[in-house]
Amino acid sequence: MPKTLREALLWAKEVLAKAGIEMPALDAEVLLAHVLGISRVGIYTKTDRILSDFEWERFTDHVKRRAARIPLAYLTGKKEFYGLDFFVTPEVLIPRPETELMVEEGISFLRKYRGLKLIADVGTGSGAVGISIARHIPLGLFFLLDISQEALKVAKVNARHHGVYDRAIFGQGDLLEPLFYLDFKGKFSLITANLPYIPTGELKDLMPEVKKEPTLALDGGYDGLELYRRLLPQAHQLLADEGIILLEIAPYQGKAITEETRSLFQGEIKKDLAGKDRLVVLRKK
């Protein structure tokens, strides 16, 4: 039975709280605003408005799916990252705030870089990292790579939406392999990679929402570093002498990566806003 916006919010908050959702009131507001096509603030300017049958049915469906721990971003189809809204689907990892450190470092480096700016974003998913950097580096050429064709479809939508499609080249394949068909060895100024780095044995302990995200985008093998071990020899061939590689990691993985690759790279570990090791910066020796 249709309700007023106030009644709908109270009902949704109760349902989500019982389901163990961390912020039930916020999620209820976001879902109602999404269904109505208005802002969260807009809800409170018309709390006595009665939902139509269609709106109520759609809202209750969204709330029940959220209670089943479907991530909020998959229900609304978008996620804010680095000040931009990105289209997301269950085929891509949801962009995380901690990954913004990679974007900041990439932008800072490229603004000082002299020479041709070629950038490869490996495991691009929604394209959040590469596209966010591209928005701030107008003269760069960006290669957005992923093994998933469905993920690349999402990245293309986001590239068009944010006006960087004409400077983006999309490639499907394993890690950096698509680039070896081109004459770009030793020419890339920046390679970014937010690859799966969760150890296989830890997947079962993830939050219910995270388990709804693609396993392909989470599983990093027995110690979480298998894909990085395969990536870095490829990256060494493609990286310019003055270029850098940026890798997102779990807080305990930085030392292992820098030690394993010290014959090829000089490594530096950077911390996120929470003070945790989050980013490895690699330069050719």
CA angle 53, 54, 60 (to 5 degrees): 90
Give the class (CATH, top level) of 88-284: alpha beta
Per-residue pLDDT at 176 exceeds 90: yes
d(CA 159, CA 128): 9
Give the pLDDT confidence score for residue 285 in this predicted structure: 84
Q: Has 194 been labeled as part of a binding site?
A: yes
> Is 243 marked as binding a ligand?
no
What pLDDT, on a 0 to 100 scale, did the predictor assign at position 181? 84
Annotated ligand binding at 125? The verdict is yes
pTM over 0.95: no
Provide the β-strand partners of residue 80.
85
Model confidence at 2, pLDDT cuts 50, 70, 90, reads low
The angle, 0 to 180 degrees and rounded to 10, between the axes of the packed helices 53-67 and 5-18 is: 20
Is 173 annotated as a binding-site member?
no
Rg (the chain; Cα; Å): 21
Per-residue pLDDT at 115: 87
Helices and strands (H and E) in the chain: how many: 11, 9
Residue type, 161: H
Pair of tokens at residue 64: 């029940």
158-165 — which CB contacts under 8 Å span 24+ positions?
A: 158/86, 158/87, 158/126, 158/127, 158/128, 158/131, 159/127, 159/131, 159/134, 161/87, 162/84, 162/131, 162/134, 162/135, 163/135, 164/131, 164/134, 164/135
Q: Token pair for residue 244?
A: 């850098």
Q: Where are the domains of the chain?
A: 5-68, 88-284
- Residue 266 reports pLDDT greater than 70: yes
pLDDT of residue 144: 98
The answer to whether 124 is annotated as binding is yes
Does residue 127 have a known ligand-binding role? yes
Nearest to 106 by CA among 189, 26, 42, 162: 189
Q: Which two tokens stand for residue 169?
A: 């080249």
pLDDT at 1 over 80: no
107-158 tens-digit pLDDT: 999 999 998 899 999 999 999 999 999 999 999 999 999 999 999 999 999 9
Using 50, 70 and 90 to split pLDDT, how confident is the model at 3? confident
Q: pLDDT at residue 190 above 80?
A: yes
pLDDT, position 102? 98
